[in-house]
Amino acid sequence: MQPARIEGRVDVEGGSTWYEKVGGGPGLPLIVVHGGPGFPHDYMTSLDELADERVVVYYDQLGCGRSDRPHDEGLWRVERFVDELERLRVALGYRQFHLLGHSWGSQVAADFALTKPSGLTSLVLASPPLSIGRWLEDARRLRAALPEEVRRALDDGEADGSVDSGAYQGAVRAYMSAYVCRMEKWPPLIGQSARGRSDRIYEVMWGPNEFTMTGNLADYERTDRLREISVPTLFTCGRYDEATPEAVEVYSAALPGSEAVVFEESAHMSHLEEPREFLAAVRRFLARHDPAGAAEDGNS
């Protein structure tokens, strides 16, 4: 039996944002913040499996997926995405809720948590790039571990500007297959998100490709502020993740009392590569932090 699904829209700065509420149950709602920037929620919908115990809320950030697509590039800044999340929470009327952010979404979720928002009960930061400096350093190390012919194709393409060539794009796919999703055949959910993505948001906030940081996230660094987060927090990553286990260990150590889980057969898409293990870890964490009487709290 498929869980119930209810769609809606919320007015935010720059337009309106689409959301969907899935399932129900006694647990507090879980709001899911997708990655990107500009890569909509579809690839996260494997979290529907959690909707037997609680409402799971997905939304497409402004500019991608089913949300409005304004042309004002001044909208593509972290603080606006944080404000968008708060407007969603207010519109949903949740007095208590959990929050899960994946990849870029973990930056939005962490910055949201740092505002001390009303009702936030726990936080899951999955494959988090919470220090862009560390992320880029790790990316150089991961790239150096690729086969020589792949490294050469990346270096040559960037040196002569042929980043649209088949050789360069093939080398990018090799990197992605090693560190983003290690499944031989990528799940259709990733393709669904790819069809609704906004390359322009990615360019403005990150850059032209995975290896070239020219966007406004270049100075993003939150390691020293993580200790200000005051709710129970779970960090997750894959053993072969772009968000490396070493980085996640640093983040977890910076937030006393937090937990960290590394999924041994995963890269950056643990929720798709090891869904049973990922969902079990998140399910246990959320259940431990559901307050007694959650079902009577008016959050369903």
The pLDDT assigned to 297 comes to 43
Q: At what angle do helices 148-160 and 166-179 cross, to 10 degrees?
A: 130
What is residue 176's predicted lDDT score, i.e. its pLDDT?
96
Q: Structure pTM?
A: 0.96
Task: Going residue by residue through the chain, which has 300 residues, state the pLDDT in tens, using 9 for 90 and above.
Answer: 678 899 999 999 999 999 999 999 999 999 999 999 999 999 999 999 999 999 999 999 999 999 999 999 999 999 999 999 999 999 999 999 999 999 999 999 999 999 999 899 999 999 999 999 999 999 999 999 999 999 999 999 999 988 889 999 999 999 999 999 999 999 999 999 999 999 999 999 999 888 889 999 999 999 999 999 999 999 999 999 999 999 999 999 999 999 999 999 999 999 999 999 999 999 999 999 998 756 534 455
Question: For the structural domain made of 5-132+188-296, what CATH number should be given?
Answer: 3.40.50.1820
Active-site amino acid positions: 103, 241, 268
The residue type of 272 is L
Provide the pLDDT for residue 299. Answer: 52
